[in-house]
Amino acid sequence: MDYAELRSRIGALVAGETDIVALMATVACEVHHFDARFDWTGFYRVTAPGHLKIGPYQGGHGCLDIPFERGVCGAAARTGEVQRVDDVEAFPGHIACAASTRSELVLPVWNGAGALIGVFDIDSDRPAAFTDEDAEALGAMLEEVFGRC
């Protein structure tokens, strides 16, 4: 995995862009096509206190609304911590937006003021598809892109 190359490509594509939805759409597209493990890739935006709504994504349909109290995305938003789940069936309260999902990586997304603006969700149809390296590299890239908003 050449995360440095992905980060460079995304940096070039979003240079000077400040619209959060445009940034999310570009990041979701580039990351989705970066690796065959990534079956669904997208953002859930904080639209109200304790509530996420689907944002730009790549892949099949996602859940439209997710409260912070439910699912892997809700856990990432509620705790502010990365959620790397090797087996979604073993995650208490998992929301099955797609029956094919076997593992999931969800990263909180913060703006430059330190406010949670959403979560970045990657699903895989493979069990245990994600590594700590994936979480670290993608987290750094998200901070670079959205930390200036």
* Single pTM value for the model: 0.95
- CATH classification of the domain holding 15: 3.30.450.40
**16 lies in which domain range?**
3-146
Mean pLDDT per block of 10 residues along the chain (149 residues) reads: 93 96 98 95 97 96 93 97 95 80 96 97 96 97 95
Instruction: Pull the structure tokens for residue 126.
Output: 């493979």
Number of domains, the chain: 1
Q: Find out whether 114 and 35 touch, Cβ atoms under 8 Å.
A: no
Using a 10 angstrom Cβ sphere, with 0-12 exposed, 13-18 middle and 19 or more buried, the burial of residue 50 is exposed
pLDDT digit string, tens, across residues 65-93: 999 999 999 999 999 999 999 999 899 88
pLDDT of residue 87: 95
Question: What angle do helix axes 132-146 and 3-14 make, rounded to 10 degrees?
Answer: 20
Paired strand residues for 48: 51
Give alpha helix (H) positions in the chain. Answer: 3-14, 20-32, 71-79, 132-146
